Amino acid sequence: MPSQNPVFIPGPTNIPDRLRQAMQVQTQDHRAPDFVDTFAPVLRDTRRVFATTQGQILTFPASGTGGWEAAVVNTLSPGDKVLIARYGMFSHRWIDLCQRHGLDVLVIDCDWGSGAPARRFEQALSEDKACEIRAVLVTHNETATGVRSDIAAVRAAMDAAGHPAMLFVDCVSSLASMDFQFDAWGVDIAVSGSQKGFMLATGMAILCASPKALAAMETAKLPRTYFDFRDMMAANASGGFPYTPPLQLIYGLAESLKMLFEEGLENVYARHFRLAEGVRRAVDAWGLELVAHSRDLYSDTVTAVHVPKGFDSNALTDHAFNAYGVSFGIGLGELNGQAFRIGHLGSLTDVMVLSGLATLEMAMADLDYPISLGSGVAAAQEYYRSTRAATTRAAA
C-alpha cells in the first residue's frame, strides 16, 4: 500500500482524514438560502489566521498564482511601476506575471538563499520622489530556497522612506503554519491558498485585502472579470458567490479552521518550528548545507538542502520515489540539480518527519553520499525527545 506514505514536498501537503471526509459532500445548491450559513463563518474566521480585524477576505477557485493575478489586476493599471526582489523561483514567477500584465517592474536581484532586502527597498523608495511606485511585492516564504523574509522589516523600510506604495505579500507557504500579522505588518494584500497550511486539496486562492487596497480598485484599469474583487464582494455580502463556487473546498476550509483553532494558532506555529528544527539538525548531522544563508532566514515549512559537489539532487529525489515511494521537493530554477527540499508543513508529526529523514538517508546511502546511516535520524530524535515534554504541556 505505497500510497499511504506521507509526502515531504512543500505543498500540496498531506490531507488529514478529517478534512478528506469534510470535503466528501454531495452536490448542494449554492444559491439556496442556507448556503450563507456555511460560507459566511468561513470568511469571518479566516480573518483570525491572517491576524486582521480590518482586512477583507476573498476566495477564488484557483491556486496561489490566481491569487497573485487577482491582487495585481484589481489594484493596478497598465504601465504602473511595482518594486519586487528576485531571490527564488516564486518571486521570479510573480515578476513574470507582472511583466505579462504590462506593468513597469523594477527588479532587485538578490542571491538565492537570501531574503527580502528591506534596506534596498527603502533606498529605491526614497529615490522615487514622484511616488510612481504603486506597490512593493514580497514573497514571505520562498519555497524554492527555504527562506522566510522579515515582512515587518519591509514595512518599516517603507515607512522610513515615507512612501505611500501598497505592500503585497505572497504567504502561500507560510499562512496557517508560521506567524503572519496582516494588520501589525501593514500588509495591503496577502495571497495564500488551500493546499498548504490549510491542509486541503489545491483549488482555492485565499486573499486578504486592506481598505487601502480596496480603494485602489476605483482607479485600477487592468482588465478583470473572473478575479474581480467587486463582483466577489458583492456576492459575498449576501452569503453567495458570483459563479459556481468550489463547494467541497469551502466545507473543507470550515473544518480546517476548526482544527487550527482547536490546536491553537500559537501551538500550530510552535509545532512547525519544532518539526523544522529537527530537520535542520538532521541536515547538520549529515554534513550538508542549507540553501538559506543564515538562521534568521530559516523557514519552518520547508528546508532546502545543497547536495555535495558532483551529486545530482534530481537523481536523489527520483531514487527516493522509485525505490521507497516517498516524494521530496526537487530543486527549482537556479537550484535545479543542486538542491532538494524537505517539506514539513501541514498535517505532520515528529514521527512522520523521522520516517522522511530515514528514507532520505537510505536513498543517499544507495547513491554513495558521504553520510552515515542513522546520523541525521539520531540528531532529530534527540531533539524531538528533549522537546516533547514542553510540547505536551503546551497542548494540554
pLDDT in tens, 16-55: 999 999 999 998 888 888 888 889 999 999 999 999 999 9
Read off the C-alpha cell for 11. 505543498
Which residue is listed with cell 515549512? 301
Mean pLDDT of 182-195: 98
CA atoms within 13 A on the CB side of 192: 30
Is the domain spanning 265-395 CATH 3.40.50.720? The answer is: no
Using CA atoms, how far apart are residues 353 and 319, in angstroms rounded to an integer?
Answer: 18
The amino acid at 266: E
> What is 17-261's CATH number?
3.40.640.10
For residue 16, what are the contacts with CB-CB under 8 A and spacing of at least 6? 199, 259, 347
For 84-130, write each residue's pLDDT tens digit: 999 999 999 999 999 999 999 999 999 999 999 999 999 999 999 99
8 Å CB contact between 240 and 30 = yes
When pLDDT is averaged across residues 285-291 and rounded to a whole number, the result is 98
For residue 166, give the H/E element and its range: strand 166-170
For residues 333 and 109, give the distance between their C-alpha atoms in angstroms, rounded to a whole number.
Answer: 14
Burial of 384 (0-12, 13-18, 19+ CB in 10 A): buried
Q: Where are the domains of the chain?
A: 17-261, 265-395
Residue 390 has pLDDT above 80, yes or no: no
Question: What is the predicted pLDDT for the residue at 31?
Answer: 85
Could you tell me which residues come within 8 angstroms of residue 277 by beta carbon, excluding any fewer than 6 positions away? 383
pLDDT exceeds 50 at position 393: no
**pTM exceeds cut of 0.85:** yes
From 354, 325, 329, select the one nearest 343 (Cα to Cα): 329
Instruction: Dihedral sign for Cα 68, 69, 74, 77, please.
Output: positive
Backbone angles phi, psi at 310, to 5 degrees: 90, -5
What's the number of CA atoms in the CB half-sphere (13 Å) around residue 155?
16
CA gap 178, 327 in Å, rounded: 23
Residue 39: phi and psi, rounded to 5, are -80, -40
Name the more confident of 253 and 30. Answer: 253
Extract the C-alpha cell encoding 343.
Answer: 517539506
**Distance in angstroms (rounded) separating the CA atoms of residues 202 and 194:** 6
pLDDT tier at 396, thresholds 50, 70, 90: very low
Spatial contact of 148 and 300, defined as CB atoms under 8 Å apart: yes
Q: How far apart are CA 371 and CA 138, in angstroms?
A: 36
Q: What is the reported pLDDT for 389? A: 60
pLDDT in the model for residue 319: 98
Spell out the SS3 assignment of 293-333: CCHHHECCCEEEEECCCCCCHHHHHHHHHHHHCCCEECCCH
**CA atoms of 234 and 158, how far apart (whole Å):** 32
- The residues, ordered by sequence, that sit 6+ positions from 20 with a Cβ below 8 Å of its Cβ are none
Indicate the pLDDT class of residue 238, thresholds 50, 70 and 90.
confident
